[in-house]
Structure 1
Amino acid sequence: MGTGNCIRRCLLCVGCELLADIDASCYVLDFHVSVATAEELELVYEPFYRILRAKRPGTPIVMATP
C-alpha cells in the first residue's frame, strides 16, 4: 500500500469515528465514486464497517457497491 493510500485510509477512519458519533437509525456506505478498483474499495469499506459496527452494534449498515 502506497503512502497516499495510507493517508487516505487514515483520514477515512477519522471521518468514520466522527460519523459513528451520530446516533443514526441506519448508515449507508457508498464509496464507488471515490475508488477505482475492487482493492481500493476493500481498503475503504473494511475499516469503515469495523469502526461503525464497534461503535453502533445494533444500527443497520447498508453497503452499496457498483
Structure 2
Amino acid sequence: MTMVSDTVELTPIDPVLMIHHDCDDGIKPGKRKVKFKIPKSYITEGKTPKKIFDLGTLNLETTYS
C-alpha cells in the first residue's frame, strides 16, 4: 500500500500513521490500535515526496506495545 499526503502548514507538523483494526482478537469489544511516528527526515516541501518511508510488512495478529 502506498500513501501520499500533503498539506499547507504555518508551523512544523508531526505526522503519524494510526491503524485501528479488529484482526485476530476474537469477540473482544473495541479496536486494537497501532501508531507509528513518521521520522522528520521524510517530511519535505512540495506535493511530490523526495523520500519514501518503507514501513515494511506488518502482521496485525501480533500485539504491539
Query: TM-score scaled by structure 1?
Result: 0.28
Q: Which has the higher strand share?
A: 2
Q: Higher RCO, 1 or 2 (CA under 8 Å, sep at least 6)?
A: 1
- CA radius of gyration, larger in: 2
Query: TM-score scaled by structure 2?
Result: 0.28
